[in-house]
Amino acid sequence: MKDSFNLKPFLVPLLLSLVLGTIFIRHQAKAKNEKNTQNQSDIYQKINLLTEVIKKVSDNYVEEVSDEELMMRAIKWMVHSLDPFSAYMSPRELKEMEVETRGQFGGLGIEITKKDYYILVIAPIEDTPAWRAGILPGDRIIKINGEPTGDMTLPEAVQKLRGPKGTRVVITIEREGWEEPKDFELIRDIIKVKSVRSKVIDGDVLYVRLSSFQENSSEELKNAFSKSGLYEGKIKGVIFDLRNNPGGLLSEALKIGDIFLSDGVIVSTKGRRSSQSYKAHKDSFDFPSGVSLVVLVNQGSASASEIVAGAIKDTRKGIIVGTRTFGKASVQTIIPLSDGGALRLTTAHYYTPSGTNIEEKGIEPDIAFKPTRVQPISELSPQELIQRRDNPELDEAVQFALKLIKPVPVQKAKEN
């Protein structure tokens, strides 16, 4: 006779457990719904408060101001208060940004950021009105055409600095070591950014200057390498100059990093919603092994420049020479909006291959080097400016890099 299993002793506890479990789940769901309802109620109260404030200001402010203008100001400050690099962009500002990344726009040729209560110069772009006037990395723009910049967002400052070719703008600069601010009167021009300049110096060393990361910068770099004979073994060393390079497109930084690295991680990003590692891939344009690489950096090297310099340093593909870089390690994503504008929102921070976050710290060079002869660009004549641009071998930092690639042999004393 088969043994039978009596379920009755377990039936009541089982049913009781199911009932209690159902009650608990429903209670949790109810509590969650009540919390969500309360959160929604709080949000609606804040929206009502915002509407009330706009109405009060519109009705009572000493000067007439429209509800639309007040609402736009509220939107701009809401986003800008998150960090210096996040901003709401109007349709016109979005179009200007898209034009800039193509390498041509109207303005002064100056890369800036917002820091504390002033506009900070990251770097002037070469061969532009700002560069020729002697604007330097670290300069603080405290006024634009007499208007204080303390309350300006970064896009607002950019908009005021740009304009049609031939128009005038006055910027007031504070500089370390100056007793008083100085006014610079500049004439706007069409800014055509030449992303890559290169020259073979000392017979078999390629000097490459990358001024910004814009569309096709990686292709320009490949072309410079190809024309020099780098891939045919004609070049012994490369000096890659990222000084005063304020950054640009992340996509181009990844492509250029992929040129110098044949494998491994170029950079990794970590955000609230996702994290990602970008890896190099082996191809015919990889930087040849056995060729020395020296990367020049300074305080004006920022963002995308730091991604590439950090990847080269951490993977020991080359030597970083100069001074500590700017220290911008955040990624901004362009999010389109229904009005034709967009949010430029910080969505992640990036980390070098070793996992280092360089935000506000910068990248420390492998070899520190600071030129002893510093002549302001504003003191140079147009002929001297052209000579400096076309003859990088005259630059003190380049000369130092040359010695690292081609050290002077030590002569032994002759025996008697």
pLDDT digits (tens, 9 = 90+) for 70-81: 999 999 999 999
Residue 384 belongs to what H/E stretch?
helix 382-390
Judge if 247 and 119 occupy the same domain.
no
Residue whose pair of structure tokens reads 């009167």 in the numeric block: 185
Cα 215 to Cα 252: distance, rounded to the nearest angstrom: 7
What pLDDT digit, counting tens, does each position of 202-254 carry? 999 999 999 989 988 999 999 999 999 999 999 999 999 999 999 989 999 99
From the list 101, 124, 99, the residue with the least C-alpha distance to 111 is 124
pTM of the model: 0.70
| CATH at 237 | 3.90.226.10
Query: Based on the domain organization, do 169 and 229 belong to the same domain?
Result: no
98, part of any domain: no
Q: Indicate whether 349 and 213 sit together in one domain.
A: yes
In a domain, 71, yes or no: no
Active site residue 303: yes
113 — pLDDT class (breaks 50, 70, 90): confident
Stretch 127-136: mean pLDDT, rounded? 91
Closest by CA position to 141, among listed 120, 169, 162: 120
Q: How many domains does the chain have?
A: 2
User: Tokens in use for 229?
Assistant: 């004979």
| Within-domain flag for 399 | yes
Whether 117 has a pLDDT exceeding 90, the answer reads no
Residues 176 and 304 in one domain: no
The catalytic position among 127, 258, 314, 395 is 314
Asked, for residue 108, whether it belongs to a domain, the answer is: yes
If asked whether residues 280 and 169 sit together in one domain, one would say no
What is the DSSP track for 16-34? HHHHHHHHHHHHHHHHHHH
231 and 244 co-located in one domain: yes
Q: Is residue 149 part of a domain?
A: yes
- Total residue length of the chain: 416
Which residue segment(s) compose the domain that 186 sits in? 104-191
Q: Which of 125, 157, 191 marks a domain boundary? A: 191
Helices assigned H by DSSP within 241-342? 250-260, 304-314
Q: Catalytic pick from 303, 305, 313, 395? A: 303
In this structure, are 233 and 153 located in the same domain? Answer: no
Rounded mean pLDDT of 89-118? 83
pLDDT tens for residues 353-390?
A: 999 999 989 999 999 999 887 776 656 654 676 678 88
Identify the CA nearest to 165 among candidates 194, 187, 181, 135. Answer: 187
Residue type, 361: K
Q: Of these residues, 143, 222, 255, 328, which one is catalytic?
A: 328
Tell me whether residue 4 is in a domain: no
Q: Are strands 168-174 and 147-148 parallel, antiparallel or unpaired?
A: unpaired
Q: What residue ranges in 175-214 does DSSP mark as E strands?
A: 182-187, 189-192, 196-201, 205-210
Helix segments in 229-350, DSSP class H: 250-260, 304-314
Q: Does residue 217 carry a catalytic annotation?
A: no
Domain assignment present for 44: no
Last residue of a domain, one of 174, 191, 208: 191
Look up the CATH number of the domain holding residue 181.
2.30.42.10
Could you confirm whether 314 is annotated as catalytic?
A: yes
231 with 263, same domain: the answer is: yes
pLDDT 10s digits, 3-54: 444 545 545 554 555 555 655 566 666 655 655 666 677 787 888 898 899 9
